[in-house]
Amino acid sequence: MDLAQFGARPDGGVNRQALSPEDIAGRAQFITWCEEQGYACSSDAVGNLFVRRAGTDPYADPVLTGSHLDSQPTGGKFDGAFGVLAGLEALQALDDTGIITRRPVEVVAWTNEEGSRFQPGCMGSSVFIGATGMEDILGCRDRDGVLVADALAQTLAAAPNLPRRSMAFPIAAYVECHIEQGPILEQAGKTIGIVTGIQGYRWFAVEVRGQEAHSGTTPRRAQKDALKAASAMVNALETLMIDESDTLRFTIGRFEVEPGSPNVVPGRVFFTIDMRHPDQAVLAARAAAVEATCRAAAGTCEVTVTQTFATPPIAFDGAVVDLVAETADRLGLPSMRLGSGAGHDAGYMARVCPSAMIFVPCEKGISHHPAEFATSADLAAGTRVLADMLADLANR
């Protein structure tokens, strides 16, 4: 609740977009809390913040936990912030109980997970592991034309005393706490989600070109109506994406009609496709049929289909996933396995070290919204599982 004051919205939500003044102030508060507890903070060149609790072997690779402090413009209090603060709470719990670990335990706040102000999202974690280069992100601009390079320089300059950390240092294991952002745990009455992986997704941009014409003078048989062609494509795609198990996700989130005049036959339509599935074979097969499906429905119009983004499904490390389950059982917390519908920094970390996620329920599955809510009891339960796992993993 204290962190949610940074970027607080009148409707109870949070607007703490990446590298904004609100994000910078929230980071400063987080650093203060860490330093008050005696933990050393550091930052890498992309602004990822690290907090370290030393182990007995200073040369051992650390166990890492964390999430992100940035939010959507109309975000809530819990998405990301929970995972970072759970990490700090877990460090304090290790101190309070006098647990000594061989490996250091570190908490990270990744830069720009949300990708709402600057695209792409998961910027901090993808640059950290080398999947994206610094040179690929520094030139990205927000809607107002502000460069990542400038916003990042401001963010780093606001904490001038932090030691600069190298990127891609070896990590023994990564565990991320997060609200589920879906309704499954709540509906099942479970407290802990044992996250088995993150579904892959594909994005497409579809441009339909017809012919603008006077709506009154042009006979319908002679019209090349881009909207009617696009509507046929949407219906055909909806049929293509039928899935009895209701696992496949398919969304057309943007649909633009030009010129947008009541008495002009639409000459151009642009729409987007977002499709997701945990099985690469299913995802690839349906994605491969998108262009042909649009062409077949185009009629007298022309269509261009461009794949704009693709990320494969991620399966988390079996041993770390099992450890989430065992720990929840040992603590007497009801749990279930489930996949993540949303992308997370853990998806990038899984490429370089054994990784897993712990989900807790969020009310009605609502997130990316001011109404986002999770109970203190559930957040505490997730944090207990995390603290227990960190102690275990850091002594292996």
Residues facing 198 on adjacent strands: 314, 340
Is 79 an interacting residue with respect to Zn ion (CB under 5 A)? Answer: yes
Is 388 an interacting residue with respect to Zn ion (CB under 5 A)? Answer: no
Segment contacting Zn ion by CB under 5 A, of 72-80, 122-130, 270-278, 356-364? 72-80
Q: How far is the CB of 340 from Zn ion (least distance, A)?
A: 10
Q: How far is the CB of 6 from Zn ion (least distance, A)?
A: 16
Judged by beta carbon, residue 23 or residue 79, the one nearer Zn ion is 79
Judged by beta carbon, residue 241 or residue 324, the one nearer Zn ion is 324
DSSP labels, 72-105: -TTB-SSTTHHHHHHHHHHHHHHHHTT---SS-E
Q: How far apart are CA 308 and CA 328, in angstroms?
A: 39
Residue whose C-alpha is closest to residue 73's, from 142, 136, 158: 142
Judged by beta carbon, residue 79 or residue 212, the one nearer Zn ion is 79
* Binding positions for Zn ion, 297-336, rule CB under 5 A: none
The sign of the torsion formed by the CA atoms of 361, 362, 366, 369 equals negative
Judged by beta carbon, residue 185 or residue 265, the one nearer Zn ion is 185
Label residues 273-286 b or e (16+ Cβ within 10 Å = b): bbbbbbeeebbeeb
Judged by beta carbon, residue 79 or residue 388, the one nearer Zn ion is 79
Segment contacting Zn ion by CB under 5 A, of 73-81, 87-95, 299-307, 324-332? 73-81
Q: How far is the CB of 90 from Zn ion (least distance, A)?
A: 18
Please give the structure tokens belonging to residue 112.
Answer: 């720009």
Judged by beta carbon, residue 79 or residue 225, the one nearer Zn ion is 79
Is 347 an interacting residue with respect to Zn ion (CB under 5 A)? Answer: no
Judged by beta carbon, residue 72 or residue 191, the one nearer Zn ion is 72
In the stretch 152-191, what mask flags binding to Zn ion with x, by CB under 5 A? ----------------------------------------
Q: How far is the CB of 178 from Zn ion (least distance, A)?
A: 6
Segment contacting Zn ion by CB under 5 A, of 80-88, 151-159, 225-233, 349-357? 80-88
**Dihedrals phi, psi of 342, to nearest 5 degrees:** -100, 160
Amino acid making up residue 388: D
Q: How far apart are CA 4 and CA 302, in angstroms?
A: 49
Judged by beta carbon, residue 196 or residue 340, the one nearer Zn ion is 340
Q: How far is the CB of 234 from Zn ion (least distance, A)?
A: 30
Which of helix, strand or coil describes residue 44? coil
List 26, 55, 75, 80, residue binding Zn ion (CB under 5 A): 80
Residue whose C-alpha is closest to residue 65's, from 304, 291, 324, 306: 324
Judged by beta carbon, residue 80 or residue 197, the one nearer Zn ion is 80
* Binding positions for Zn ion, 201-220, rule CB under 5 A: none
Residues facing 141 on adjacent strands: 147
Element (H, E) at 302: strand 302-311
Q: How many residues bind Zn ion (CB under 5 A)?
A: 2
Segment contacting Zn ion by CB under 5 A, of 78-86, 100-108, 124-132, 267-275? 78-86
User: Helix, strand, coil shares of the chain as percentages rounded to 5?
Assistant: 35, 25, 40
Segment contacting Zn ion by CB under 5 A, of 10-18, 54-62, 74-82, 93-101? 74-82
Segment contacting Zn ion by CB under 5 A, of 34-42, 79-87, 207-215, 315-323? 79-87
Judged by beta carbon, residue 89 or residue 113, the one nearer Zn ion is 113
Element (H, E) at 139: none
Helix axes 81-96, 376-393, angle to 10 degrees: 60
Q: How far is the CB of 326 from Zn ion (least distance, A)?
A: 25
The residue number whose beta carbon is nearest to Zn ion equals 80
Q: How far is the CB of 67 from Zn ion (least distance, A)?
A: 6
Q: How far apart are CA 119 and CA 345, in angstroms?
A: 14
Which residues are within 8 A (CB) of 145 and not within 5 positions of it... i.e. 6 or more apart? none
Say if residues 70 and 363 touch (Cβ distance below 8 Å).
Answer: no
Binding site for Zn ion (CB under 5 A): 79-80
